[in-house]
Structure 1
Amino acid sequence: MPASQSGPTPRELMLARVLLFIAPALWSVNYLVARWAPGVIAPHMLALGRWTVAALVLLAFCHREIADKRHLVRAEAGHFLVLGALGMWVCGAFVYIGGRSTAAVNIGLLYAASPVLIALASALWLRERFGVAQALGVALALAGVLHVILRGQWSALGELTLNPGDLWISVAVLCWTAYSLLLRAWPSAFSPLARLTLISFGGVLVLLPFTAWEAISWLPSELSWRSVGLVLAAALIPGAAAYAAYSFMQRALGAARVSVVLYLGPLYSAGVGWAVLGESVHVYHAVGAALILPGIWLSTRR
């Protein structure tokens, strides 16, 4: 959205605040996909299938706008490729690769740094207003997510070890930060949905050669109902739906405030693990929620 465009309406602000709590639930499905994917479908193939299907689904809703503005696509083509590489290639395949060799606690801790990076960079680079209340909200939410990830045992923070998977996740975190900032900083002639569609196609173009290399020289994938199901689940829920919600929230609330939705990830993943995988829910989840939810309210209020 161009920086000069008028601000969001009250209805859009209300919808954006509701989506703050829905989008992380959509993203939490990716935890299940990443957990079930090894041995069924390779990381790049999963990311390619996910964003090919997502792009086609999104295209069905905005093909008329893209057709009417097709003469403007070339002007933003470089942006679509860069954003596609950051958001669909690195934040897709790299997470699946890293998840094969690192623990969930490491992934959670590394991703917990992303909202802080986005908030700081937004204040310095995008000149977004981020006052004391917002800073306190970020601190509360970060404390809550660390409490959940560490299961209430803060002494475990000094016992973490790094492995190659952590490097893949670290790159994904940095690229997600860059994706969030550039999505806000670069103006676009397209609506958020049409822009996301074109970014998705840009991501597919970037993913194609790496997927071919992976299949030939590293890790082939099986063609089965399980692999197709994982692709469809990743494409429709944490793909098209979650990214569309994120784009809309950014336009209404700004990059720094919206970044705190990542803090809900551990709580939602705990809920998904309890409902689908039979994992237990503990007291530290409730303590984490008691810190995260007020933190989000402080961070996102006007």
Structure 2
Amino acid sequence: MTQTNTFRTASLAILAPLATVLIWSGNAIVTKAAAGVVAPSAIAFYRWALALIVLAPFVAPAAWSNRAAAKAVWGKLFIGGLLGMVIYQCLAYVAAETTTAINMGVILALMPLFSTLLASIFAGERLTTARIVGGVISIGGLVYLTSQGDPMNLVRGGLHIGDALMLVAVLANAFYGVLLKRWGLTLPVWELLFWQIVAATIVLVPVWLLGPIEPIDAAGVPLILYAAIPASLLAPLFWMVGIAKLGAARTALTINLLPVVVALLAWAILGERLHAYHYIGGGVALLGVVVGLREWKIGRPRDDTPNAAAWATEEV
């Protein structure tokens, strides 16, 4: 019986973060599929408003009872919602109009490395040689990927606007995670998520009103539902389970699978073609992530890695 329980626990520890990566990969496909179907301002607003409605019955009573603690850090909660949910997701939806889901997946996979580099700058984390070398390698891979195998394309035509927006989006989300780590907010995780969604929804109301307000058709409904429930609510839950069982550092390593899953889904669902520069550029970018985070693989599971406190609420 003990062996059975141990097996179940080990399986849950592995499957929980893998489920999160699968959901986040699906969200990259949804983000791309929403381009031309639902306006970026509309899907961003509907997504978080619906997530708030679904989450409220379970979390709102406790969050309201503990509102004094939330009020004391309201400015930080507002900034978190602005960076991690408004700026990040709105830019991702706009980027999807001019880049591929495959490129988005590779750029998203760089978030852990970006987080560690930003933590070195803003949170006093030690900037190791591995992180510097890893960052340089990843940038090289990104240049090769976004230039479609010819870096001179960037000189002739500049950085692809969709890829540039996606980079800014990922940097905003990584910075959000670093701030959460630096601030050390003591609110329970679900209350932290709840109040940030409240802030994001409030900010997105005028964005939605200023954008094209059109009826949501049958093609847009499942996209909004996926973004609101699996991507916004279930993924954080699975991620927290993974952290509890494996530790934040080892759980974060599963992000490396994201571009692979996104590429397969983009090929199967969206019909995107894989080219040699995807394999080469994406592979080099991921190699940089592995090099930059290599110390995470050593020793017991830890929860003191850069951005560890933010993994539960950071959303890809």
- Answer yes or no: is the 8 Å Cα contact 1:261–1:296 preserved in 2: no
Of residues 179-188 and 199-208 in structure 1, the stretch that sits farther from structure 2 once superposed is 179-188
Unaligned runs of 5+ in 2: 1-8, 300-316
Write the deviation string for residues 137-174 of structure 1: whole angstroms up to 9, x where unpaired.
Answer: x5799499869x849x9944554542443443233122
Give the drift of 1:101: 2.2
The CA RMSD over aligned residues, in Å, is 4.2
Write the deviation string for residues 244-285 of structure 1: whole angstroms up to 9, x where unpaired.
Answer: 55567779526xx76655433211102323554466789986
Alpha-carbon spacing, 1:62–1:235, altered in 2? closer, same or farther (3 Å): same
Q: TM-score, normalised by structure 2?
A: 0.70
- Answer yes or no: is the 8 Å Cα contact 2:80–2:176 preserved in 1: yes
Aligned twin of 1:253? 248
Quote the Cα distance in structure 2 between the aligned partners of 1:167 and 1:295: 24
Residue number among 40, 62, 81 corresponding to 1:43 in the alignment: 40
Matched residue type, 2:215: E
Aligned twin of 2:79? 82
Quote the Cα distance in structure 1 between the aligned partners of 2:176 and 2:242: 14
1:15-30 aligned within 5 A: 19-30=16-27
Give the drift of 1:52: 1.3
- Answer yes or no: is the 8 Å Cα contact 2:60–2:194 preserved in 1: no
Of residues 65-74 and 175-184 in structure 1, the stretch that sits farther from structure 2 once superposed is 65-74
Give the drift of 1:204: 0.6
Quote the Cα distance in structure 2 between the aligned partners of 1:54 and 1:187: 25
Of residues 287-296 and 170-179 in structure 1, the stretch that sits farther from structure 2 once superposed is 287-296
Alpha-carbon spacing, 1:292–1:233, altered in 2? closer, same or farther (3 Å): farther
1:300 aligns with 2:296: yes
Residue number among 68, 77, 84 corresponding to 1:71 in the alignment: 68
Give the drift of 1:134: 7.4
SS class of match (1:58): helix
1:1-302 aligned within 5 A: 19-104=16-101, 107-108=104-105, 110-111=107-108, 113-128=110-125, 142=138, 150=145, 155-160=149-154, 161-214=158-211, 219-245=212-238, 252-253=247-248, 261-277=254-270, 288=283, 298-301=294-297, 302=299
The count of aligned residue pairs is 283
Alpha-carbon spacing, 1:132–1:165, altered in 2? closer, same or farther (3 Å): closer
Instruction: Give me the identity figure in percent.
Output: 26
- Answer yes or no: is the 8 Å Cα contact 1:50–1:235 preserved in 2: yes
SS class of match (1:222): coil
Quote the Cα distance in structure 2 between the aligned partners of 1:258 and 1:140: 24
Write the deviation string for residues 106-161 of structure 1: whole angstroms up to 9, x where unpaired.
Answer: 5456545543331122244434467677778x5799499869x849x994455454
SS class of match (1:79): helix
Quote the Cα distance in structure 2 between the aligned partners of 1:162 and 1:106: 13
Quote the Cα distance in structure 1 between the aligned partners of 2:104 and 2:209: 27
Quote the Cα distance in structure 2 between the aligned partners of 1:185 and 1:248: 23
- Answer yes or no: is the 8 Å Cα contact 1:110–1:170 preserved in 2: yes
Quote the Cα distance in structure 2 between the aligned partners of 1:250 and 1:135: 26
Write the deviation string for residues 179-217 of structure 1: whole angstroms up to 9, x where unpaired.
Answer: 111122222232111211111111111111111111xxx
SS class of match (1:225): coil
